[in-house]
Structure 1
Amino acid sequence: MFNEEATAKIVDRIWKKDASLWAPDEASFDLIENRLGWLTLPVWLRANLSDLRSRTQQLSKNGWQRIVLLGMGGSSLAATVLKECSIDSRVPFQILDSTHPENVRKISEQQNLGKTLFLVSSKSGTTLETIKLWSHFYGLIRAENSARDCCAGDNFVAITDNGTPLQNLAIEKKFLDCFINPTDVGGRFSALTYSGMLPAALLGLEVESFLESAEREASRCRSPMLDENAGLALGLGIGEQMRAGKNKLTLLLPDQFLSLGDWIEQLVAESSGKAGQGLVPIVNEPWLHPSMYHEDRLFIAVLGSRDKSLRSQCDLLESVGFPVFRSGIDDITGLGGQFFRWEFAVAVACAVIGINPFDEPDVYRSKDETTRALTDMNSATELASTQVIGLGVTDNCFQISMAEDSVDIITSKLRDFFLRANESNYIAILAWVEDDKEYTVALEKLQATLRKAYSVPVVVNFGPRYLHSTGQLHKGGPPTGIFLQLVGSTSSHISIPGSNKTFSDLYEAQAAADFKVLCATGRPVARVKLLKDPHDDASDALGRLTDICRMIELEI
């Protein structure tokens, strides 16, 4: 436990932006100091609120029929929370954070695309997926507008940092507007920048209410007293539990705020998951009886005043000895305070365990491998097989095919693969399939089967989204993950402008590249090709895979 003097020093050093709190080596100081701007974002947002309102009103005068946000990771997750938590929005609001050709096609084929406003969001201004998606939709808008002598840039608004290639692109292509975020704020800490607040304003939400909530929380987070500073108390609690070996952070969320889990997942996983340490966020896991949880669990509940069921679950967990932390929220406007509280708590927790929460050293490995693969590949199919052959087939890292391998071979391979699962492990289903309701339901059935069979947490991550979220944890965190990569296929071949590649090529290259990097880190990975013919039904293949896993469960 930390005494009052120690906690006061932590709070003081955070607000003084003392980089040595998270890193002993001076080589990291500059990077950390240039990522602490989130501490003063409520002040920044207050100063820019009037400007945000007037520019949003100007954007809304165009009579848009829908708004589409193109962005990955921290550039889209806060907006996703706000969209999912809002009851009604002024205009239909969609978020495209996938390069899966079917997800791209569905938005591309919507009627009257010329009445769609695209928000292109990227801190670096170079995010591969975001820029490729922009180039595709810019080409469609330009083709649609050519008969009307309009500027295609009028359908686009950029959200980025000063001096980035995206800002230059916005100027060159005459975007409708370009919102510049503070450069000293990292993506996963950017909820209170334009990355989150511009979507909030366009959704018709009252940004000032979010700001007031964040201002109150920021003020409380200056206090050295645990009973006054919820962010400090939460962060110290998480850090102390991690020291005690509890590294599975299970989120308990009310239905209204379920989407908050995806934002917390990225913040926690990407901040803490490095140097062989880290918290594994368990999000959207069905409620289990406390006897089903292992001792490495800690629980955090986000509670509203009426969440009696969640409160009862918390009481039950505490009664049998599990650590449970509570974070209160009254309504959607309280999300501003939640964003700040969680950011402060994660910064504190990482200070306790000696981890720098402001870098992501392993994220770039998959990005670099994808770029290299796209440069060298003749086809995505060739790439995938080459990656596997190049690594060699081992018990730790292999590929099987639902279409080409027999049931006996698949059963034998997966039975041996999952035998390594013990109480310290978690299973991650890395789903490289279309993100829609049908596949989600099929994946949830597979998730439940594996959870029952091996009594370990099972998480589902969609690619390429997780590359900008939990990907850092999977590669750089504790070596307790067991990875089941599921790779579908697609019959949609949408060309990427300015390239001889398609979105199918990009998507399958990202999957194969991440498989290669995971294998290179020594993680156990089973890559399952669901289809041979892209016209076949991947959800049916998922069903057959679940049946095989269910048969294995009966043998255990």
Structure 2
Amino acid sequence: MADPFTLPPVREALDALDGQDFHGRIWIKDGTLWPGDVTDIRNRLGWLTAPSIMGMHAEDLKTFADEIRRVQFTHIVLLGMGGSSLSSEVFNLTFGPKMGFPDLLMLDSTDPGALKRVLDRINVSRSLFVVSTKSGTTTETMSLYAFFRGLVEAGKPPKPGMQFVAVTDAGTPLEKLAAETGFRRTFLNPATIGGRYSALTFFGLVPAALIGVDIKSLLERAQGMLEACGTDVATADNPGARLGAALGGLARSGRDKVTLVFSEKLRALGPWIEQLLAESLGKDGKGVVPVDGEPLGPAEVYAADRVFVAVLLEGDTTHDAALDRLGEAGHPVIRLTLKDALDLGAEFFRWEVAAAAAGAVLEVNPFDEPDVASAKEKTAALLAAWRKSRKLPEWRAGWEEDGIVLMTAGETPASSVADGLWAHLTQARPGDYLAVQAYLTPQPETWTRLQEIRALLRDRLRIATTVAYGPRYLHSTGQLHKGGPATGVFLQLTGDDAEDLAIPGAGYGFSTLKAAQALGDLQALAEARRRIVRLHLRGKPAAGLDKLAQLVRGLVKKA
């Protein structure tokens, strides 16, 4: 079983980084390491010193968390998307609330069912809402704020703004709104740090502090990794640059499906890494496809486009046998070991350096997201049209059976939903991947069914599979889908919402917003000439997913 760092593509990438003096130039914020506007790139490198800068705020964050405890809020509700929420989810699912601290609930969806689930768990008058958006204008976040602000004010508290905290950049509309409407506190993040690189800033640390995470120790671990990746460390010994060289070098050789494996306690790190890699590297027709949450299978179901990266706690041998078999079968396997959960501080920094290094290897700018805007613009246009006509356009229903509707952009020659779906899926060729985009209410039973479907298709088609909820993925893998390699086969799942909840002042509800986002991305993917179909599940989504799973089981057996 070869050491992946000795493989020729990785050695070449390490030599290239050495030849560029990557480890020296990144620390003087040399924007010419990557293609793109040099000034813009320099202005996105503030994350390099985040552990040091934020260390000066650790005591203040602890003091603020103690203040919130004294007020006796029972829940913190984080309203945020993508980089404004994913690191908080890592902290929440890894550490959970410390004794005596409030529970943290994440809301990064426009699905009415997801919103209803949060409402069912909280007492609005005893909840603190953290409004988290770098731009201060994120549609989903500000829609959620408007909704909860209305609920808080309906209770007629003397100072409703005291139930809100803002995390944003200086000079944003949210900063102004927070000042005008009496927010309890506004945390202004350094503008030189992009969302997906902001785990070790106020975006990740404010929610972490509010549930009692030891911020000081977390940042000390991050500082240790910063020093290990410093200017006086050779590229081959630099933990971040080494990982980035491996990911970039192996991707150039055809192994661009970065398949993530975790200790159970660390599994929440997956979606954060997924966003970092997908949005940083998936552009100009290049990139890596991060594969998170895919159940490990036998070596024979994997093609030669895989590299496995295992992030494991010290002493955890759960995956050793499976990873050994994969290595023996010729797949590169990289193992990263954490002493304990607080090493997440170091791990965040390692992966941020790795993304920057992989960008240099692949010759892409890891600090922009040029293809994200297309779906946003189409969604805005659809909502503007909805305000006039009270309806959204729809893709043609090619076939409907047993409550499952197959929709495509053009003619559908298939004679059934099963035939049409299978014709779409079997377009996949070696090196392609399947992306399932589920605009359904996030809940455990839904995820279980989606995981079954992806595993069946992975094993039959021998391609990498990704599964994500919409609209959440638009702020994560959406850039890769439209700007990365044209190797995706996309399956969008939608369903009937049981109810809608109005967005104050918008003229439409969350169900309409979610439907417009789904259709906007569908249009953007079709315009980018990606292979995509939609399956709409009528009635109860759980029953619809059961029928879809049964259909897929039949297809893979018959084929």
**Shorter-normalised TM-score: what interval?**
over 0.9
Residue aligning to 1:302: 311
Residue aligning to 1:546: 549
Aligned partners of 2:486 and 2:501: how far apart in 1? 37
Pairwise CA distance, 1:122:
0.2
Pairwise CA distance, 1:466:
0.1
Match of 2:194 among 164, 183, 186: 186
* Ranges in structure 2 where 5+ consecutive residues have no aligned partner: 1-11, 407-413
**Contact persistence 1:380–1:505 (CA under 8 A):** no
Pairwise CA distance, 1:454:
1.4
Pairwise CA distance, 1:555:
2.5
Residue aligning to 1:158: 166
Following TM superposition, the consecutive aligned residue runs of length 4 or more in structure 1 with deviations greater than 6 angstroms are none
Aligned partners of 1:111 and 1:59: how far apart in 2? 16
Residue aligning to 1:18: 30
Q: Bigger CA drift: 193-202 or 320-329?
A: 320-329
Deviations 1:305-337 (A, max 9, x none): 212233333333222322122222111110000
Residue aligning to 1:257: 266
Report whether the alignment pairs 1:66 with 2:75: yes
Residue aligning to 1:116: 127
Residue aligning to 1:482: 489
C-alpha spacing 1:314/1:428, structure 2 compared with 1 (3 Å): same
What SS does structure 2 have at the residue aligned with 1:160?
strand
Report whether the alignment pairs 1:323 with 2:335: no
Aligned partners of 1:133 and 1:176: how far apart in 2? 18
Pairwise CA distance, 1:551:
1.9
Deviations 1:5-35 (A, max 9, x none): 8267110111111111011x5xx11221111
Pairwise CA distance, 1:402:
5.4
**Contact persistence 2:399–2:416 (CA under 8 A):** no
Q: Which amino acid aligns with 2:337?
A: G
Match of 1:341 among 343, 350, 354: 350
C-alpha spacing 1:524/1:43, structure 2 compared with 1 (3 Å): same
Q: Bigger CA drift: 319-328 or 74-83?
A: 319-328
Pairwise CA distance, 1:213:
0.4
Q: Bigger CA drift: 150-159 or 410-419?
A: 410-419
TM-score, normalised to structure 2, is 0.92
Report whether the alignment pairs 1:55 with 2:67: no
The alignment's C-alpha RMSD in Å is 2.0
**Contact persistence 1:265–1:469 (CA under 8 A):** yes
Residue aligning to 2:289: 280
Pairwise CA distance, 1:399:
7.8
C-alpha spacing 1:401/1:104, structure 2 compared with 1 (3 Å): farther
The number of residue pairs the alignment matches comes to 537
Aligned partners of 1:64 and 1:373: how far apart in 2? 39
C-alpha spacing 1:281/1:53, structure 2 compared with 1 (3 Å): same
Q: Which amino acid aligns with 1:19?
A: G
Report whether the alignment pairs 1:428 with 2:435: yes
Residue aligning to 2:179: 171
Q: Bigger CA drift: 226-235 or 463-472?
A: 226-235
Report whether the alignment pairs 1:519 with 2:526: yes
Aligned partners of 2:236 and 2:59: how far apart in 1? 34
Pairwise CA distance, 1:453:
2.5
Match of 1:134 among 145, 161, 167: 145
Q: Which amino acid aligns with 1:431?
A: A
Pairwise CA distance, 1:109:
4.1
What SS does structure 2 have at the residue aligned with 1:61?
helix
C-alpha spacing 1:400/1:7, structure 2 compared with 1 (3 Å): farther
Match of 1:412 among 398, 401, 419: 419
Match of 2:341 among 307, 311, 332: 332
Aligned partners of 2:342 and 2:317: how far apart in 1? 21
Aligned partners of 2:405 and 2:38: how far apart in 1? 52
Aligned partners of 2:448 and 2:120: how far apart in 1? 25
Q: Which amino acid aligns with 1:157?
A: V
Match of 1:105 among 76, 101, 116: 116
Aligned partners of 1:141 and 1:58: how far apart in 2? 20
**Contact persistence 1:401–1:529 (CA under 8 A):** no
Deviations 1:451-490 (A, max 9, x none): 2331212211100000000111111110010011000121
Aligned partners of 2:266 and 2:415: how far apart in 1? 43
What SS does structure 1 have at the residue aligned with 2:489?
strand
Aligned partners of 2:325 and 2:557: how far apart in 1? 30
What SS does structure 1 have at the residue aligned with 2:71?
coil
Aligned partners of 1:238 and 1:499: how far apart in 2? 43
What SS does structure 2 have at the residue aligned with 1:382?
coil
Q: Bigger CA drift: 198-207 or 403-412?
A: 403-412
TM-score, normalised to structure 1, is 0.93
Identity of aligned residues (%): 38
C-alpha spacing 1:204/1:399, structure 2 compared with 1 (3 Å): farther
Residue aligning to 2:4: none
Q: Bigger CA drift: 470-479 or 311-320?
A: 311-320
Aligned partners of 1:499 and 1:316: how far apart in 2? 54
**Contact persistence 1:401–1:528 (CA under 8 A):** no
Q: Which amino acid aligns with 1:403?
A: G
Aligned partners of 1:431 and 1:350: how far apart in 2? 29
What SS does structure 2 have at the residue aligned with 1:262?
helix
Q: Which amino acid aligns with 2:519?
A: A
Pairwise CA distance, 1:161:
0.4
Q: Bigger CA drift: 165-174 or 402-411?
A: 402-411
C-alpha spacing 1:8/1:412, structure 2 compared with 1 (3 Å): closer
Aligned partners of 1:231 and 1:401: how far apart in 2? 50
Q: Which amino acid aligns with 1:125?
A: G
Residue aligning to 2:103: 92
C-alpha spacing 1:264/1:450, structure 2 compared with 1 (3 Å): same
